[in-house]
Amino acid sequence: MGKATGFLDYARQDDRIIPVSERILTFDEFHAPLDEKARTEQAGRCMNCGVPFCQSAMKLNGMVTGCPLHNLIPEWNDQIWQGHISHAYARLSKTSNFPEFTGRVCPALCEKACICGEHSDPVSVHDNERFLIEEAFARGYVQPLIPRVRSGMKIAVVGSGPSGLAAADMLNHRGHTVHVYEREDRIGGLLMYGIPNMKLDKAVIARRQKLMEEEGVVFYTGCDIDENESERLKAEYDAVILCCGAKQARKLKGADPEKIKGIYYAVDYLTSVTKSLMKAEDHRASSLLARKDFVSAAKKHVVVVGGGDTGNDCIGTVIRQGCRSVTALEMMPEPPEVRREDNPWPQWPKVKKTDYGHEEAIALWGQDPRVYETTVKEYITGSNGRLKQIVTVKVHFEDGMLKEVPGSEQMLRCDILLIAAGFTGCEAYTPEAFGVEQTSRGCVRTEQGSYQTSVPGVFTAGDMHRGQSLVVWAIGAAQEVDRYLMGY
């Protein structure tokens, strides 16, 4: 274990967060790491419990708690405490392909299951992981691992989000030749265009791409696979893995971006901002606003519909663009500030989470931007067809049905409406092109616990397989594909 009394001797200390007044002036990442001594002490808080729930990924009361990758958390925490960074990195990389991604954007299911968190503060696993992988890169421990022998098998991966990259990485290391096809101009999927730069710097993705290319993975960008291309892939490759995500946005009644100017789906909005940022050398918000190649919320009243991570990312982005106000509408009731008795440790805590975007809005306007149990009832446009106001209404669930509260309508100024209400599955044209079956939830159908589709030699993984979920769940199909190709 780290230090026998570490959890008693050292208080939890998170990475330093740059103050709101400074960080909203730029699209750069805003977490500043602790120095090595302080981070070593944080790793020393890990007790190497007899039953380490942090790496368990148990399902309790319908929710998962603990790391879905089964990262060997106590082992690499101990090695950080001992000062053995190379050994710590070896233990981390044994189970995690891309800790530089999860160390930034994962909601840390591991920490929610940490035994220290039952009565005190959990070990800062998330920050420790990020420190470890960045130290490993800085010290040169992360080197290309080029297979000495190739199997002669070729695999096509369609989609380069977390699941596509993970499948490509593992199968390449097994000696197969892997080609990845991505329809966007850059790899990464939602890592690239669905998560803002201040949360995940895109240079981090480019660094991993360079490493994978040195190891032999080939990337083709700007390739949207239609029916003709799907037939070519099935003919030319020994296996195909569909990893196209679940990007079919959930629609909002009456909110049609094609008919009403000023309404956008959240990922389309975030994509336009990131694409513009990628062309700019200067990441200051004031510099980016001088460009005209993205959707701008500058001096506009913004309403975000949806309370998840994407909704929060939209709040942080419009604030950096200089919006006049931002309101976030959520249909669900406001969660409690602390755990209820029927939600004990180590279950996932169903409590109110105030994320960076919410914090920034509170700092700027003195109040939480979230309005609960509320949705949009009507959209009011000007003579030019552009949105200018919305009518909101209070709602509640009764017998499983969403009901409006009579007389609760309110008028709200709204120049831009961002729909961040989640996703309903994958876009249908790719499964149709490959002839694979889909479920009622819009996912590609497989047998329980399998990644094999209804078409021999065609597999699926990630959000396309299980629906919209976390980055850590996107890593999984490679073993089944390898068994299909090699027999073991």
Match 């790793």 to its residue by tokens: 43
Match 């850059």 to its residue by tokens: 186
- For 223, the token pair is 């390739």
Confidence (pLDDT) at 333: 95
Output the pTM of the full model. Answer: 0.94
Confidence (pLDDT) at 475: 61
Phi, psi of 303 (to 5 degrees): -120, 130
Same topology, domains 154-247+424-486 and 263-419? Answer is yes
Phi, psi of 234 (to 5 degrees): -65, -30
8 Å CB contact between 273 and 306:
no
Confidence (pLDDT) at 468: 76
What radius of gyration, in Å, describes the C-alpha atoms of the chain?
A: 23
Report domain extents, the chain.
6-138, 154-247+424-486, 263-419
Confidence (pLDDT) at 474: 58
The CATH classification of domain 263-419, taken from the options 3.20.20.20, 3.40.50.150, 3.40.640.10, 3.50.50.60? 3.50.50.60
**Model pLDDT for residues 34-76, shown as the tens digit of each residue:** 999 999 999 999 998 989 999 998 989 888 899 989 999 999 9
113 vs 55: CA distance, rounded Å: 8
8 Å CB contact between 95 and 132:
no
Match 């195909």 to its residue by tokens: 240
Confidence (pLDDT) at 476: 61
Q: Classify burial at 398, counting beta carbons within 10 Å of its beta carbon; exposed 0-12, middle 13-18, buried 19 or more.
A: exposed
Considering only CA atoms, which of 103, 251, 233, 235 is closest in space to residue 159? 233
Average confidence (pLDDT) per 10 residues, the chain, 488 residues: 89 96 97 94 94 92 90 96 97 95 94 93 97 97 97 97 94 97 96 96 98 98 93 96 91 92 96 93 84 92 95 98 97 94 93 97 98 97 95 94 95 97 91 94 90 94 83 71 90
Confidence (pLDDT) at 280: 86
Q: Which fold has domain 154-247+424-486?
A: FAD/NAD(P)-binding domain (3.50.50)
C-alpha distances out from residue 39 to 36, 91, 109, 125, Å: 5, 18, 20, 10
261 vs 63: CA distance, rounded Å: 39
Strand partners, 179: 156, 218
CATH code of 6-138, in short, is 1.10.1060.10
Confidence (pLDDT) at 282: 82
